[in-house]
Amino acid sequence: MAERLVTFETDGDLGIVTLRRPEKFNALDIPMLRALEAALDAAEAADSVRVVLLLGEGKGFCSGGDVEAWSQMSAADFQVQWVRYGHRVFDRLARLRQPTVAVLSGHVLGGGLELAVACDFRVAEAQVKLGFPETSIGVVPGWSGTQRAVRRFGAQTVRRMAIGGETFVAAEALALGIVDRVVDTGKAFIEAKAWAGKISERGPLATQAAKLMIAVAESEESAAATEALASGFIALTGDLKAGVDAFKAKQKPAFSRS
């Protein structure tokens, strides 16, 4: 991340991931996606971080995928290097162990909206517009705009954006459940940070477990989440220690059901 395209920093028990390409309204290209993935890995590894904020530097949150970055790709490269890799990074965000809040201080369109959708919560400033304009230039949402967004907001809302071409102002998006809170211009970060602070006061393990259970309910990551929850429970029992100790001693374990 030599160019600091995406940064991760901590503020107490909050983690802050910032997209830093303001001259392009934080449009995503391959280097940006790689930097975002690295920043999310850092957030995941930060034991002290209980909530993660995602924001964009400058006047926008994220204007989506950089057309110049993908328009010259071959069909094969577009599928693998762009769409599938972007999915991997966005899934990384959606499956971050900590709750996440997107700070929407500028228009949130296309891939930018897909990025916001991958967060648990969204705080939008009143002037923000949201939508999926991809079909207007002959492409389709490729980073879960027709999948995760449908699961979270409903098919008809996504139809109106992706097929009907509608964009919604923040107040309309609030009524449709696309964003969770709307604030005055310039106040999104303050509101998101305050909300994150309240979330961080809750039991961290319970909060992370609740996030996993909700992910199972909306088919976000059923297999991994189920195994993570079960493994976490087992790790708290005496069975794990008994089994590991016996393995190291090359003996048969004596499980106590404790």
Q: Which two tokens stand for residue 173?
A: 């998006």
Q: Which of 3, 23, 44, 134 is catalytic?
A: 134
Highest mean pLDDT among 69-73, 82-86, 202-206: 202-206
What percentage of the chain reaches a pLDDT higher than 90? 66
| Residues carrying CATH 3.90.226.10, the chain | 2-201
Give residue 15's region: left, alpha or beta (phi > 0; psi -120 to 50): beta
Q: Which two tokens stand for residue 57?
A: 């530097």
Question: Does pLDDT of 61 surpass 50?
Answer: yes
4 half-sphere exposure, CB direction, 13 A CA radius: 6
Strand 129-131 relative to strand 167-169, pairing: antiparallel
Site of tokens 């790790």: 235
How confident is the model over 238-255, as pLDDT tens digits?
777 777 788 788 888 887
Query: Is 114 a catalytic site residue?
Result: yes
Site of tokens 């979270």: 152
2-201 CATH: 3.90.226.10
| pTM of the full structure | 0.89
Beta strand ranges found along the chain (DSSP E): 6-11, 14-19, 51-56, 100-104, 108-109, 121-125, 129-131, 167-169, 181-183
Lowest mean pLDDT among 14-23, 38-47, 63-72, 103-112: 63-72
Query: Is 44 a catalytic site residue?
Result: no
Q: Which of 114, 125, 191, 220 is catalytic?
A: 114
**What is the rounded CA–CA span in Å between residue 168 and residue 203?**
35
